[in-house]
Amino acid sequence: MINHLGIIMDWNRRWAKEKMLPVFMWHKAWADNVKKIVTLCQNKGIKYITLWALSTDNLKKRPPEEVEGIIKLINNIESFLWDMLKENLRFETIWNIEELPIESQKILQRVKDNTKNNSWITLVLALVYWWQDEIIRATKKIIRDWLNPDEITKDKFRSYLDTANFPLVDVIVRTGWDIRHSWFLLFDSEYSEYYFTPKKWPEFDEQELDKVIEFFLNSKRNFGK
């Protein structure tokens, strides 16, 4: 069974445009589907789910009103995750949340602190994502620790990454039509399976999740052997 599922939640704005809805309406659809899919994953025995929620480029290049909507959604995370937080969900973030407003950082940290001992399912949000930045930050930590170069193994390097406390990702799903990995969880995806679906994130449902699980269970994983 899948232990750790990663999802690149793409084509939200295009979904809203096709529905002739204001672009910001995808925010609610995004949040609603996060709740639905995380609950489904828990019911199906998946222990970790990492969702790419916001990239560095999203934060810096999207129209101001859209960025404000995304920040508002982040600031309301306790509200839209309330039912799941009561059900023992553990919440985590990876990547550079220091790029977010101070209030957003405080809210995210509070939710992480309040759920750190929960064990229902671990939801990891990838926020302000830029994989090269993670490598740079990890390298700086290694330099500050004065590690002997001969001591730096793959496992040692991974211990300095944001994902160090999570298992390697088994499957990475990308919604929408794009077939590319965009550097998502790149260090942790050496033996990950990739599943690309034309469904946009707000359309990604239980039927499609079941297809992902079936795809994984039918995959022959040799791990380089």
Decide if 25 contacts 70 (C-beta within 8 A): no
* Chain centroid offset of residue 137 CA: 19
210: closest CA among 181, 173, 166, 182?
Answer: 173
**Integer-rounded Cα radius of gyration of the chain:** 18
Active-site entry in 10, 162, 170, 188: 10
Q: Assess whether 58 carries a catalytic annotation.
A: yes
Q: Which residues contact 178 (CB under 8 A, 6 or more apart)?
A: 10, 11, 196
d(CA 110, CA 128): 18
Phi-psi region of 8 (alpha: psi -120 to 50; beta: other; left: phi over 0): beta
Which H or E run includes 194? strand 193-197
Q: Which amino acid is at 113?
A: D
The catalytic residue among 3, 12, 58, 145 is 58
**CB-count exposure of residue 93 (10 Å: 0-12, 13-18, 19+):** buried
Catalytic residues: 10, 58
